[in-house]
Amino acid sequence: MTTWQPQGEAELSAGWRLWLELSTRLWPDGDWDGTPAEAVRALRALSAACGEIHAAYLESGAPRSAQVVGLLHSVVFAASLPVGLWQDDRAPLDADRAALLHSDLSGFVDHVAGVRAVLARGGGWAELESR
């Protein structure tokens, strides 16, 4: 999806919430223990936040077929790939596994950048992307 035009206040609000989550929840925090499982913890939290946004959106009575629902699902799906691979890996990283983890996370970050751009253009807050 290259464009998104919110169809109502509920969809605009859900898009804004998703954009904010994608702005702040991608990277391990200062408590990262150096394991892959901990590196993908932020992605698990992001997936949970997407679920909360989706539920709130649907509770508002807004249409299930809205574009923002597809954007939410795409983020959860993209996060599920690295999470599924790494969520139980608690061994310290070696160089080879670090490269694999980096590659998996880079693919997710690329997807998120695209979703953020679509949300920013459609929501009218593209000028915030450059800050």
Number of domains the chain contains = 1
Containing structural domain, residue 69 = 9-128
* pTM of the predicted protein model: 0.92
Q: What is the pLDDT of residues 70-94, one digit of tens each?
A: 999 999 999 999 999 999 999 999 9
Within a domain: 53 = yes
Q: Rg of the Cα trace of the chain?
A: 16
Residue 108 has a pLDDT of 95
Within a domain: 52 = yes
Distance (Å, rounded) from C-alpha 73 to C-alpha 93? 30
Within a domain: 2 = no
Within a domain: 4 = no
What three-state secondary structure class fits 105? helix
Within a domain: 104 = yes
**pLDDT tier at 130, thresholds 50, 70, 90:** low
